Structures are given as structure tokens and as C-alpha cells.
Amino acid sequence: MTADPHAPIETAAAEPDYFDVLQQAIRELLVEKGLIEADEVRAMIETLDAHQPALGSALVARAWTDEAFKERLLADGTAAIEEFGIENYDGTKLIVLEQTPEEHNLVVCTLCSCYPRPVLGLPPDWYKSRPYRARAVREPRVLLKEFGTDVPEDVTIRVHDSNANMRYLVLPMRPAGTDGMTERELAGLVTRDTMIGVTTPRLP
């Protein structure tokens, strides 16, 4: 029986890190000082919960089936998601990266956990963990293999570091043999992890 490739990352993220503790302390202090209301915090959490990876999956499926939309998405991700009906509530710039046979893109945030929340919702714990953030930069090919993604040596891996003003979303390659699938069926092949770049879409 093989070990779960996610286990080291999940284990490392079991306890909150420095940034988790810091953001919670700041939030509680702001509420205590009356600068924000607990209801405002609750409303933001509800907004985050309403944005799920399914939004991103539908976005990718549209790009796979509509070449003109794909071009707009790659040219200006922020404008394209708003055109698609996704509220860019955090005001950040979204850059969409296209996977190709020659280039594999991987997204990370080395400083904390900046993430395209309007499109993907809340980030998984392992994305915020120190091991993932460090290894994505130091040994991306090895890290990807642990997720079951074996990137050939002749394919360039590009690691993209998100920040407070700019977020990245990966547009994965459409799997072969999907020509007869509907847009909704295609969306079912697209997972959160494929839009971060740690895995690739696969047929059921």
C-alpha cells in the first residue's frame, strides 16, 4: 500500500502557523476596539463560503469551449471573470496562466497564503503550510510528483508567487478524448488542484 502523497503537507499544517495566529489576533483586536463589527467578519466569511472551486471549474470549461473567451481570459483575467459573472470582491488583479506541452505552471504564495478566493473559495490547509510554500520554490518537480503529477524533464516548470495585489489561476490543458463532452461535463474534470497547478485534469 502506497503512502498518501499529501500526508507530509497535511501533517505539517495540522497546527496554525505564525500567519494564522497573527490574522486571528488582529481580527479579534479590531473587533474589540470597535473598528469592525463581528457581523462584518461573519458576512465576509459567508462571502468566502459562497465562492467555491466550482466557479473556477465552470470558468475553465468555458475557456476550453470558447476560444474567444479563452483569449480574453488570458489577456485580462480580472475583466474576464467579471464578464463571466464572478464577483472580484477582493479587488486583486487575476493573472491566468496556460498550461502547455512545453510549460507547467505552479502557483504558490511564499509569504503567506494569497489565493484567488473569488474563483476558488478558501485555500486548502496544505497550500498555506510552510512545507508547501518552501518546497514549491525549492523542489517543484519533486513536490508535484508527490501529488501524482509526473512532469517530464523536458517540460519547464514555472513557479508563480502570488501577493496581496496579484493572484494567479492556472488554465489546465483540456484532456484528449473530450471532444464530445458538454461544457458542464468538462467542468466536472476540473478540480481546485488543477487550477493551482499541482495536478492535471483526468478522464473518469
Whether residue 162 is annotated as binding a ligand: the answer is no
Q: Is 113 a catalytic residue?
A: yes
Return the closest-CA partner of residue 149 out of 2, 3, 6.
6
Which CA distances in Å does 187 have to 55, 81, 181?
Answer: 9, 15, 10
Q: Annotated catalytic residue: which of 57, 113, 129, 162?
A: 113
Whether residue 113 is annotated as binding a ligand: the answer is yes
Q: Is 57 a catalytic residue?
A: no
Q: Is the pTM for the entire model greater than 0.85?
A: no
Q: Annotated catalytic residue: which of 57, 114, 129, 162?
A: 114
Q: Is 162 a catalytic residue?
A: no
For the domain covering 7-14+52-195, report its CATH number. Answer: 3.90.330.10
Q: Is 114 a catalytic residue?
A: yes
Provide the 8-state DSSP code for 124: P
Full pLDDT tens readout for the chain, 204 residues: 333 444 444 433 445 556 566 666 776 777 777 777 766 655 555 444 444 688 999 999 999 999 999 999 999 999 999 999 999 988 999 999 999 999 999 999 999 889 999 999 889 889 999 999 999 999 999 999 999 999 999 999 999 999 999 999 999 999 999 999 999 999 999 999 999 999 999 988
Under a CB-based contact definition with an 8 Å cutoff, are residues 184 and 61 in contact?
Answer: yes
